[in-house]
Amino acid sequence: MDRSRLEAFSDGVFAVAITLLALNLAVTGPGHGSLLDKLGRQWPAFVAYGISFFTIGIIWVNHHALVRNIAVVDRTLLFVNLLLLLFVVAIPFGTATMADYLTAGGQDARVATALYAAILEGMSLGFLAIFEWTLRDGRTFQPVPRAARWAMRGRFYVGQVPYLIAFVVAFISPPVSVAIIGLVAVYYVFERTPSTPGSRPGTAPGPAPGGAADTGSYGSDGGPDQPRA
Amino acid sequence: MDRSRLEAFSDGVFAVAITLLALNLAVTGPGHGSLLDKLGRQWPAFVAYGISFFTIGIIWVNHHALVRNIAVVDRTLLFVNLLLLLFVVAIPFGTATMADYLTAGGQDARVATALYAAILEGMSLGFLAIFEWTLRDGRTFQPVPRAARWAMRGRFYVGQVPYLIAFVVAFISPPVSVAIIGLVAVYYVFERTPSTPGSRPGTAPGPAPGGAADTGSYGSDGGPDQPRA
Amino acid sequence: MDRSRLEAFSDGVFAVAITLLALNLAVTGPGHGSLLDKLGRQWPAFVAYGISFFTIGIIWVNHHALVRNIAVVDRTLLFVNLLLLLFVVAIPFGTATMADYLTAGGQDARVATALYAAILEGMSLGFLAIFEWTLRDGRTFQPVPRAARWAMRGRFYVGQVPYLIAFVVAFISPPVSVAIIGLVAVYYVFERTPSTPGSRPGTAPGPAPGGAADTGSYGSDGGPDQPRA
Amino acid sequence: MDRSRLEAFSDGVFAVAITLLALNLAVTGPGHGSLLDKLGRQWPAFVAYGISFFTIGIIWVNHHALVRNIAVVDRTLLFVNLLLLLFVVAIPFGTATMADYLTAGGQDARVATALYAAILEGMSLGFLAIFEWTLRDGRTFQPVPRAARWAMRGRFYVGQVPYLIAFVVAFISPPVSVAIIGLVAVYYVFERTPSTPGSRPGTAPGPAPGGAADTGSYGSDGGPDQPRA
């Protein structure tokens, strides 16, 4: 199993999951009220679509920033990666459930939003597990220096907090919980992580919805990356 | 993040979105009138399928003509690309809604068609944003010469006009609006953009549903493109 | 646009279309008769799944045998390829409609089966169009020798006949029409096309459901193919 | 047809099939009891999702461990691989049917679970057929030594037993049958197959749900594998 295989399969799963998100936008056919009313009533579906689309997009960006630095692929990594994908694939389900029940109010809205936050937190933990896997010596082309490990770990663990907060807040105010999840996506889209000291810009991943990565700006020759000494 | 990753993920999204278009062709099972009647009554679904299929196909062709000229990939590009994909993924939804309501007449047909045109215009703007990103010095292997930039920009901005017209016309005559969108697809399938002066044939993108590109005719060795001086 | 892009996108579309075939196997939940009865009553769905799965599989095999010999990619090829994919993507729809109506009998069964045969014939014509495109000098690494062109063309045009027969027979006996389509798939799975004289084994495509190809047996190094003199 | 094509297409099918698994998690919209009840009542869907996700994940891991060792690709391999994919694509259908009927009890639960086990056994046999194909001399970079062939074959054939047992047990106790299938997935996730004598670690496939493979731990340079003498 070489790294490119891992990337190709993960890319495929990300691409299908992100596209399935739009299935929940579907409106029923003519005959039960005006189309404008129907579209208006399902505004949560549109909001949920935007949030989940960029959340999956960010995790895709960060996944590759992290994976491209990996020098050796073992079975543990493959299954940790599957754990991440298990939650990514569940995002369209969580998104649809949240969107369907957000305006229902009461306990149902709380449960649906908590479920959504829980799936995103699961995804975030899966990403954290891949990050932890990369820390062992010899697994990456460009290891995080020992001195910087705890600082970086700190950023990844702090990155778990927003979804945990969103999960708790879901039981108090579902709309606020969704707003938090949306703000996390906005934050990571605009974030510009400074590079880790001693690392080549663009290869040091930082925290995100599971670790935002600074992919920097560097040539893309489409060829294989060479190990760097 | 290297360019090939960006292409692979985008290809996956294009492929899934274009395939999901066919889901809306489904007819209900036996028992509610003859199959021929059912197929006949859903002619808008077939027309919509053809138009959207080639519209996504064209944007895919142009996306790669534009992206293969990109030398450096940064986070901004990744998120601008996600913005494009956000609308591409919504096309099956817009197509299905338009097809379901086109023959319903009245306000519903107008809203459905306007929604369809709006999604395509969003896609077109996303493509325009990628084009604008490529104009900054040093981002492409083969930059558009300064002198030609405004002419090229003009073509991209003019390329926005048909979908805007289709959007406006949707509120007057939905079928005419759909016909305009169909003609845009036909135009771009048969268009032969002359190459920009000074550029190697096949690498200079032109306007399209978001910028039609002349991919010209050149060897494909499947290997990485080398930067050209 | 290089060839690998064309292949990656087409592969994605083939993969999604072949996977969507299985959606039509779904049975309704508990409560309307025994599961065994339900599964038994939808035997046409299982037969249709098998036939369409291998039909798409064969076209995928032959598509790559044909495309890997292509030296230059131009816009015409891209759109001819999209025409092929337009029909490939419609196969799950045609398959589901045929399976749903085959046992309904009467005109509905005839129309559904004719629709299925027509979609496959459309796919076959799309493949034929790609083959015709490859015949012009300089477009392939290993052109079909002029002397052999008409013989090869003959095989491709003869390859259109079975689906045309299936289309006509659909109006007489739908089950026989489906059997013909199934036999075409079986034939192409087991076919061993002799190589064209003068061509390297494995690169000369023959007729199929749109042209069966002899992919022969040769090393796969995963690297780019070099043009051969 | 080179190996990378076979891998790309198979990866696409695996990725779509694994993502479609989540479609069966969907709950109905507001209005028929509390969401928590609905989610609670469909616990079999969540269990089935987890089991099938990792089962497809394992077969993907093993598929590539086996395929990356293949030196020549012929039509027979392509169609044997399609046979494997025929069952992989049917897994979401089998999973959904099992999950829907598991708690229905009676004959329906037995039939649904037996169907699920049968599809997995079909997949396992497809994988076994690919393994058998690789045993002939000259087909792999690193052939299994003659002396070790029967031992390895033994492991692959023994690997068929659990699904056969699950199939038989389905007619006695559907939940126990599902538990067996789940345990197979857990076993293969945690399995650490010792390498075959004389083979480079990471390239010798072992039995799995169709043959678990030890992918070992080795550099991934993303480049093509070179034949080894």
Token pair 């409106």 is at which residue? A27
Overall domain count for chain D: 1
CB atoms within 10 A of CB B226: 10
CB-based contact (8 Å) between A16 and chain C? yes
Amino acid at B102: L
HSE of D224, CA atoms in CB hemisphere, 13 A:
17
> How confident is residue B192, by pLDDT bands cut at 50, 70 and 90?
low
Are A79 and D68 inside 8 Å of each other by CB? no
Task: Confirm whether A178 is domain-assigned.
Answer: yes
CB-nearest partner of B15 from C12, C75, C225:
C12
Q: Is the pLDDT of residue C224 over 80?
A: no
Output the pLDDT for position D51: 97
Output the pLDDT for position B1: 59
Q: Which of A199, A195, A116 is nearest to A163 (CA)?
A: A116
CB pairs under 8 A between A and D: 124
DSSP code at position B219: E
Tokens, residue C100: 């749903």
Q: Is the pLDDT of residue C100 over 60?
A: yes
Output the pLDDT for position D214: 40
Token pair 């990403």 is at which residue? A127
Q: Quick one: average pLDDT of B26-44? A: 91
Q: What backbone phi and psi angles, to 5 degrees, belong to C225?
A: -75, 140
Cβ D27 vs Cβ A97: under 8 Å: yes
Task: Confirm whether A177 is domain-assigned.
Answer: yes
CB-based contact (8 Å) between A23 and chain B? yes
Beta strands (DSSP E) in C1-157 are 72-73
Q: Which of C68, C117, C67, C58 is nearest to C90 (CA)?
A: C117
Report the relative pairing of strands C211-213 and C205-208 from DSSP bridges.
Answer: antiparallel
CB atoms within 10 A of CB C167: 20
Cβ C95 vs Cβ C134: under 8 Å: no
Output the pLDDT for position D101: 96
Q: In 3-state terms, chain C is what percent helix, strand and coil (to 5)?
A: 70, 5, 25
> How confident is residue A69, by pLDDT bands cut at 50, 70 and 90?
confident
Cβ D170 vs Cβ D110: under 8 Å: yes
Task: Confirm whether C69 is domain-assigned.
Answer: yes
Range among A200-209, B14-23, B184-193, D206-215 rated most confident: B14-23
C137 vs C227 pLDDT, higher one: C137
B71 vs B225 pLDDT, higher one: B71
**Alpha-carbon gap: B139 to the closest alpha carbon of chain A (Å):** 9
Token pair 């190809």 is at which residue? C213
CB atoms within 10 A of CB C105: 11
Task: Confirm whether D205 is domain-assigned.
Answer: yes
How many residues in total does chain D contain? 229
Q: Which of B87, B226, B227, B100 is nearest to B174 (CA)?
A: B100
Please state the pTM of the whole predicted model. 0.86
Q: Which of C89, C75, C73, C110 is nearest to C20 (CA)?
A: C89
Output the pLDDT for position B65: 86
Q: How far apart are CA A176 and CA A182, in angstroms?
A: 10
Task: Confirm whether B179 is domain-assigned.
Answer: yes
> How confident is residue B150, by pLDDT bands cut at 50, 70 and 90?
confident
Considering only alpha carbons, which residue of chain D is nearest residue A70? D220
How high is the ipTM of this complex? 0.82
Q: Quick one: average pLDDT of B63-80? A: 88
- Chain C residues 200-219 within an 8 A CB cutoff of chain D: 202, 214-219
Non-local CB neighbours of A57 within 8 Å, separated by 6+ positions: A18, B78, B79, B82, B85
Q: Which of D14, C156, B186, D145 is nearest to A6 (CA)?
A: D14
First-to-last CA distance in chain C?
23
C-alpha dist (Å) from residue D78 to A180, C216, C217, D56, D220: 49, 11, 11, 19, 26
Output the pLDDT for position B89: 97
Pick from A100-104, B87-91, C105-109, D74-78: least confident: D74-78
Token pair 């073509």 is at which residue? B155
Output the pLDDT for position C36: 94
Distance, CA of D177 to chain centre = 17
> How confident is residue D1, by pLDDT bands cut at 50, 70 and 90?
low
Non-local CB neighbours of C77 within 8 Å, separated by 6+ positions: C6, C70, C130, C133
Q: Is the pLDDT of residue A3 over 50?
A: yes
Beta strands (DSSP E) in chain A are 72-73, 205-208, 211-213, 218-219
Q: Which of D183, D203, D184, D185 is nearest to D193 (CA)?
A: D203
Token pair 């969108």 is at which residue? B181
What SS3 string covers B187-205?
Answer: HHHHCCCCCCCCCCCCCCE
Q: What backbone phi and psi angles, to 5 degrees, belong to C219?
A: -60, 145
Q: Is the pLDDT of residue C205 over 70?
A: no
Q: How far apart are CA D212 and CA D192, in angstroms?
A: 9
Burial D81-112 (b: 16+ CB within 10 A, else e): bbbbbbbbbbbbbbbbbbbbbbebeeebbbbb
Are A5 and D11 inside 8 Å of each other by CB? yes
Are D72 and C14 inside 8 Å of each other by CB? no
Tokens, residue D216: 């070992």
The rounded percent of chain A whose pLDDT value lies above 70 is 83
Q: Is the pLDDT of residue B173 over 80?
A: yes
Q: How far apart are CA D175 and CA D171, in angstroms?
A: 10
How many residues in total does chain B contain? 229
DSSP code at position C205: E
Token pair 């509610």 is at which residue? B32
Range among C61-75, D16-30, D134-148 rated most confident: D16-30
Radius of gyration of the CA atoms of chain B, in A: 19
Q: Quick one: average pLDDT of D192-221? A: 40
Q: Kindly list the residues from chain A whose CB atom is less than 8 angstroms away from the CB atom of residue B16.
A: 15-16, 19-20
Q: Which of A18, A154, A172, A190 is nearest to A95 (CA)?
A: A18
* Coil, strand or helix at C208: strand
Cβ D63 vs Cβ D127: under 8 Å: yes
Output the pLDDT for position D184: 94
Q: Which of D163, D96, D186 is nearest to A82 (CA)?
A: D186
Which of C2, C7, C11, C16 would you mutate first to test chain A, the one with the most A CBs within 10 A? C16
CB atoms within 10 A of CB A158: 10
CB atoms within 10 A of CB C31: 7
Specify which residues D219 forms β-bridges with: A72
Output the pLDDT for position B93: 97
Pick from A73-82, A161-170, C189-198, D151-160: least confident: C189-198
Token pair 């002899």 is at which residue? C214
Q: Quick one: average pLDDT of C55-76? A: 89
Specify which residues B218 forms β-bridges with: C73
Q: How far apart are CA B87 and CA B67, in angstroms?
A: 18
Which of B37, B51, B217 would you mutate first to test chain C, the one with the most C CBs within 10 A? B217
Q: Quick one: average pLDDT of C204-213? A: 42
Output the pLDDT for position A202: 40
Q: Is the pLDDT of residue D128 over 70?
A: yes
Q: Quick one: average pLDDT of B155-182? A: 94
Q: Is the pLDDT of residue B153 over 90?
A: no
Are C71 and B189 inside 8 Å of each other by CB? no
Mean pLDDT across chain A: 83
Cβ A36 vs Cβ B106: under 8 Å: no
CB-based contact (8 Å) between C13 and chain B? yes
D209 vs D90 pLDDT, higher one: D90
Task: Confirm whether D218 is domain-assigned.
Answer: no
Are A222 and B4 inside 8 Å of each other by CB? yes
Tokens, residue B67: 């992206």
Pick from A58-67, D39-48, D88-97: least confident: A58-67
C22 vs C190 pLDDT, higher one: C22
**Alpha-carbon gap: C223 to the closest alpha carbon of chain D (Å):** 6
Q: Quick one: average pLDDT of C115-136? A: 94
CB-based contact (8 Å) between D224 and chain C? yes
Q: Quick one: average pLDDT of B126-153? A: 86
Output the pLDDT for position D192: 58
- Chain B residues 48-77 within an 8 A CB cutoff of chain A: 70-75
CB atoms within 10 A of CB B76: 15
Task: Confirm whether B42 is domain-assigned.
Answer: yes
D167 vs A145 pLDDT, higher one: D167
Q: Kindly list the residues from chain C whose CB atom is less than 8 angstroms away from the CB atom of residue B33.
A: none
Q: How far apart are CA B67 and CA B133, in angstroms?
A: 11
Q: Quick one: average pLDDT of B19-48? A: 93
Cβ D82 vs Cβ C57: under 8 Å: yes
> How confident is residue B228, by pLDDT bands cut at 50, 70 and 90?
very low
Q: Kindly list the residues from chain B whose CB atom is less than 8 angstroms away from the CB atom of residue A216.
A: 74
Task: Confirm whether B194 is domain-assigned.
Answer: yes
Q: Is the pLDDT of residue A113 over 80?
A: yes
Q: How far apart are CA A79 and CA D213, in angstroms?
A: 13
Mean pLDDT across chain B: 83
pLDDT tens digits for range C145-157: 888 888 888 888 8
* Coil, strand or helix at B210: coil
Output the pLDDT for position B190: 84
Q: Is the pLDDT of residue B49 over 90?
A: yes
Q: Kindly list the residues from chain C whose CB atom is less than 8 angstroms away from the CB atom of residue B50.
A: 86
Which of D56, D75, D141 would you mutate first to test chain C, the one with the most C CBs within 10 A? D75
Q: Is the pLDDT of residue D217 over 50?
A: no
The rounded percent of chain D whose pLDDT value lies above 70 is 83
CB-nearest partner of A13 from D18, D23, D34:
D18
C107 vs D208 pLDDT, higher one: C107
CB atoms within 10 A of CB C184: 25
What SS3 string covers chain D?
Answer: CCHHHHHHHHHHHHHHHHHHHHHHHCCCCCCCCCHHHHHHHCHHHHHHHHHHHHHHHHHHHHHHHHHCCECEECHHHHHHHHHHHHHHHHHHHHHHHHHHHHHHCHHHHHHHHHHHHHHHHHHHHHHHHHHHHHHCCCCECCCCCHHHHHHHHHHHHHCCHHHHHHHHHHCCCHHHHHHHHHHHHHHHHHCCCCCCCCCCCCCCEEEECCEEECCCCEECCCCCCCCCC
Q: Kindly list the residues from chain C whose CB atom is less than 8 angstroms away from the CB atom of residue B53.
A: 82, 86, 89
Q: Which residues form the domain of A55?
A: 3-23+41-213
> How confident is residue C229, by pLDDT bands cut at 50, 70 and 90?
very low
Q: How far apart are CA C152 and CA A22, in angstroms?
A: 45
B66 vs C210 pLDDT, higher one: B66
D183 vs C219 pLDDT, higher one: D183
DSSP code at position D27: -
Q: Containing H/E element for A39?
A: helix A35-41
Beta strands (DSSP E) in B116-164 are none
Q: How far apart are CA B35 and CA C174, in angstroms?
A: 14
